[in-house]
Amino acid sequence: MSGFAAVDVIRTKRDGGVLSDAQIDWVVDAYTRGRVADEQMAALAMAILLRGMTPTEIARWTAAMIASGERLDLSGVNRPTVDKHSTGGVGDKITLPLTPLVAACGAAVPQLSGRGLGHTGGTLDKLESIPGWRAALTNDEFIAQLREVGAVICAAGDRLAPADRKLYALRDVTGTVEAIPLIASSIMSKKIAEGTGALVLDVKVGSGAFMKSLDQARELAGTMVELGAAHGVRTVALLTDMSTPLGRAVGNAVEVAEAVEVLSGGGPADVVELTVALAREMLAAAGLPDADPERALRDGRAMDAWRAMVRAQDGDPDAPPPVAPEVEIVRADADGFVSTVDAYAIGLAAWRLGAGRARKEDPVSAAAGVVLHRRPGDPVRAGDVLYELRAEAPERIAGAHAAAAGAVSISADRVAVPPLVIGRIG
């Protein structure tokens, strides 16, 4: 590959120019190999944040990220493949029931997931609260489990889009996480490299989401849907509300327990609604539009797939969840109706309890978290329990209590609860 000067690439974007295919290919490859310094890529990322990218630039940037590593070949899997990606939220345990549910309906779900950072939880952290469960699989194990079980949730290997891993860490410390071209290419490079045939995106919007405004969420969703199409992956996106936590459980083991409730045919109505909505989209994208996910929840097939998936990764699906020794109950101080439960505040409280991490290398507590007893629209009387704070260490309670103070608002009249699914793109 012919060389460029990194500073010329930076200047082009700084001045509002369009990067050529050759410039993009070179800078992504050179950065991955260590030939472009972190400070130079940081400057380019900031220029992209401020100046944006054209659809052609974003597609080429994504292709260069994919080309930095290997691309998995799932052609040997004997079912249609479809994956789902969420942009992250509070109480968002949807991947846990959704993956085995879609597998129980005939598709194969190659779900490469991540760990939590800050107030949003990570799927791998949740699953690691199951004794014995392991996140790291070889490519051969990954494909074998897809064939035999139809469902895999695991960590992405080091050879999958290594450019993204390096750039993601840099964006996190340089104030460039918010650049939509870089968010879209980060997500889609990994999903395309994993080899899935179709993809459904859950783009969240609201106080507990990365995207606070509907316009931002629509832009990100549209960009990712276009990227999927450009790379031959059937892609659709749902825009979903994240102003309120999903379900009643926010944490690790508590979210796994709630996911198992859903797979048992119960669980909170909003978690069931979103799980089924995403399952229908995934099955349609996989060419199985007549499959009935609600029936698979009722008749036990989804639970069977969950148990097989957990066992295949050395987990014990019958192990009791860890229990936090420290519990503080927060009660209502007035009669009325719950009007709001602020997702960000509850997510921050769960993080302070130990359920999340400030740095990628920090440990997380399996048992810590917040359990909600009331949600928007619910009636409440003074003295009723609003939520529980759970921690392994008593010194964590005070900070979490402060973070959640005011998270639950009570009004005299019942308020209308906004729809969970706001829109669809693709």
For the question of residue 186 being annotated catalytic, the response is: yes
Query: What is the token pair recorded at 233?
Result: 């992956």
- Annotated catalytic residue, options 171, 231, 357, 373: 171
User: 365 and 355 in contact (C-beta within 8 Å)?
Assistant: yes
Query: What is the token pair recorded at 71?
Result: 């691309």
- Annotated catalytic residue, options 164, 202, 241, 270: 164
Rounded Cα distance between 377 and 416, Å, is 7
Query: What is the token pair recorded at 194?
Result: 């994993």
Residue 122: strand, helix, or coil: coil
User: 410 and 332 in contact (C-beta within 8 Å)?
Assistant: yes
Beta strands of 313-364 (E only): which ranges? 326-331, 336-341
- Annotated catalytic residue, options 60, 84, 85, 119: 85
For the question of residue 85 being annotated catalytic, the response is: yes
Tell me which amino acid residue 169 is: A
Helix (H) / strand (E) element for 410: namely strand 408-411
Contacts of residue 257, Cβ cutoff 8 Å, sequence gap at least 6: 249, 321
Rounded Cα distance between 423 and 398, Å, is 39
- Annotated catalytic residue, options 93, 119, 190, 374: 190
Strand partners, 13: none
Contacts of residue 248, Cβ cutoff 8 Å, sequence gap at least 6: 91, 258, 268, 371, 372, 373, 375
Radius of gyration of the chain (CA): 22
Q: What is the residue whose two structure tokens read 């699989």?
A: 137
Helix (H) / strand (E) element for 111: namely strand 109-113
User: 254 and 390 in contact (C-beta within 8 Å)?
Assistant: yes
For the question of residue 171 being annotated catalytic, the response is: yes
- Annotated catalytic residue, options 68, 186, 207, 365: 186
Rounded Cα distance between 206 and 240, Å, is 9
Contacts of residue 172, Cβ cutoff 8 Å, sequence gap at least 6: 117
Burial class (CB in 10 A: 0-12, 13-18, 19+), 383: exposed
Active centre residues (catalytic): 85, 164, 171, 186, 190
